[in-house]
Amino acid sequence: MSYLSNGLVAQPHGAVKTQIVQTDDGFRIQRGANPYFIKGAGGTGQLEKLRDYGGNSVRTWSTKDAGTILDEAHRLGLTVTLGLQMGVERHGFDYNDTKAVAEQLQRVRREVEQYKDHPALLAWGIGNELNLHYSNPKVWDAVNEVAIMIKQLDNNHLVTTMLAGINKKEIDLIKTKCSALDLIAVQVYGGLASVPQQLKTAGWDKAYMVTEWGPTGHWESLQTPWKASIEESSSEKAAVYKARYEASIAKDNHCVGSYVFLWGQKQERTPTWYGLFTEKGEESEVIDVMQYLWKGTWPKNRAPHLDAALLDNKKATDFIYLQPDQKYPLSLVVNDPDNDDLQTRWELLPESTDLKEGGDRESRPKALQGHVQALSHQQAELTTPHTGGAYRLFVYVSDGHNHVATANIPFFVQNDHPTDQSPTPTNYAFSNTPSWADEFNYNGLPDQSKWSYDVGSKHQGWGNNELQYYTEANTANVLVKNGVLQITARKEQKGGMNYTSARLVSKGKGDFLYGRFEARAKLPTGRGTWPAIWMLPTTWTYGGWPSSGEIDIMEHVGYDQDVVHVSVHTKAYHHSINTQKTATKKIAHASQEFHTYRVDWTPEYIKGFIDDLEIFHFTNEKTGFEVWPFDQKFHWLINLAIGGNWGGSQGVSDDIFPAKLEVDYVRVYDLLP
């Protein structure tokens, strides 16, 4: 028996028995005689680097070149979760077509027979995101037929299917229809940290793996008014990869491992969004993080760190409009941990228009030459194109050791030509003085002419499995004192719950259609706290949540200190189907200082601000209430929840109580005609 450099045993030949084993507190993979935790990557290039950085497995999407991939993985001591391609509805496959389904089953059978005895094989992955934009539940019957067939041919390897996001409907269908699966696989991006709680809420109590995870997805990101998604820099990605992995995959005993996306490079919205490598094969800061997560040590030489990329002294989140044929300054704030000499290259592309779903192949826009003059590794000058429209400027800062920092800035060139396609948003304005407000310049209970209370612990913790009981007009939980509203959560039993708190609502006393909504608040600390300042519809015109909408002016969860969220939820866009529209910003001292949170709500958009900096933009697509239910009256809610699907996904620290949310004021400014 020989041992490889990463400590894995090189199997000489034949299949290696792999199974799921239940433990006292969860599940694990048993491969041969040894426990096995997947430290994997999606993609089949750079496999030697994957091994050297501490990875132990790769995942494919089909059996294309499977023999070569399996052989190379075996040589390096890696395993493979081998994808079995299945027809998808969005590409026209009909699961009512019994002949097509039978032919697919036979094709997959041949693939399984060909590779089932390979020593590098770990698991079979049936299809990829078959639940994405589908309507026919017979797909799960087909998945189970494939799983049964595999079990008949191969009792040595795990069988799973890859799901886009986590949805109770699909979990229920899989539990009912797919009994032959050994585990499920989920693919989640911005919501990775909440996966353990989401699966628990959806009723999945068995083993799972995460077969795709990575940066904040383009569908989750802040969008410009011209619908260009704003991408995180490589350094921002490195931070979220680390935080989300440590909050979920590394901690959940039901998770048997994961495959980071993408160990390679591809064009999907941009050439840099999902790949951990550039087109030149350079390694980003995310790879440094992956070595740390897999091996517990940082690389000896690390990638450059990019703090800011500015065009015309503006960030991408400032929604940059420029004039044609004009010169604008470019600047970077970038450093190298090893003090290596840095070199910078710039590339200007038209905004991509070949946009697909589910990772389908996209074409790369052709670069525009001669528009950027480099002045130093941190300074340059852009000359804008003559033609109006949407563009994106990319920057790559390399350290001379194949490491790189990346960022890009979308911008829009406006001109007066008749063919110009620039958006023409209405210039909305708001009153200078509030039409409705509570300055909390009194003492005692909140003003009953403006506020009522939600009481109790209804709907399984208000629909989120929260752990508090909301009291009514109880000064232990809600009090105005010294010019500040104080909502206090306490560890005490009431109504069958272990905590008490309060939730104020303005329904029937402050209901609004459009306007500027602003609150100044200081947030609580502590794992398990979940404060929110938000809005719900007063009459639920389009039906129950999320059909009639929700506007979240400020949300914060205690396990992710100082990271504040602004979001909207609609029937088309909400977290339960992994399409939520949200933005986050980390602000200093959110729990030690007061900060201002606001949304501007107009007939055309909802914008979110923290301390007057715009971080969120949601546009009325004018396609119906499913996307835009925000043409009805909404009211305020202010509360401090404890635990729940999100706030309690990492538990509750009982040494933090009493926990307190403080609000200096809430104000509403009318939208001017």
Strand pairing class (9-10; 2-3)? antiparallel
Query: Which is the catalytic residue, given 555, 604, 626, 662?
Result: 555
- The two most distant CA atoms of the chain are separated, in Å, by 80
DSSP string computed for 459-510: HHIIIIIB-EEE-SS-TTTEEEETTEEEEEEEEEEETTEEEEE-EEE-TTTS
Residue carrying the six token digits 């909050």? 247
**Residue 429: which residues within 8 A CB-CB, separation 6 or more?**
671, 672
What the block records as the tokens of 505 is 């609502």
Written as one letter, the residue type at 445 is L
The yes-or-no answer on residue 550 being catalytic is yes
Nearest to 221 by CA among 299, 179, 273: 273
Query: Helices marked H in 178-284 — which ranges?
Result: 195-202, 234-247
Give the β-pairing of 484-494 and 659-669.
Answer: antiparallel
Here the tokens at position 241 are 């990869």
SS3 64: coil
User: Does 492 participate in catalysis according to the annotation?
Assistant: no
Helical axes 195-202 vs 168-177, angle rounded to 10°: 60
| CA 547 – CA 469 distance, rounded (Å) | 26
Only one residue has tokens 């200081």, namely 522
User: Measured in Å, how far apart are the chain's first and last C-alpha atoms?
Assistant: 80
**Active-site residue, from 236, 550, 593, 604:** 550
Q: Give a three-class secondary structure readout of 407-450.
A: EEEEEEECCCCCCCCCCCCCCCCECCCCCEEECCCCCECCCCCC
Token couple for 513: 């259609």
The residue type at 488:
T
Alpha helices in 167-302 (DSSP H): 168-177, 195-202, 234-247, 285-295
Tell me if 130 sits within 8 A of 27, measured CB to CB. Answer: no
**Cα–Cα distance, 419 to 47 (Å, whole number):** 49
Query: Which residues are 408's β-sheet partners?
Result: 394
* Cα angle: 74, vertex 77, 81; to 5 degrees: 65
Dihedral sign of CA atoms 533, 537, 538, 540 in order: negative
**CA atoms of 628 and 623, how far apart (whole Å):** 8
Could you give the residue numbers annotated as active site?
Answer: 550, 555
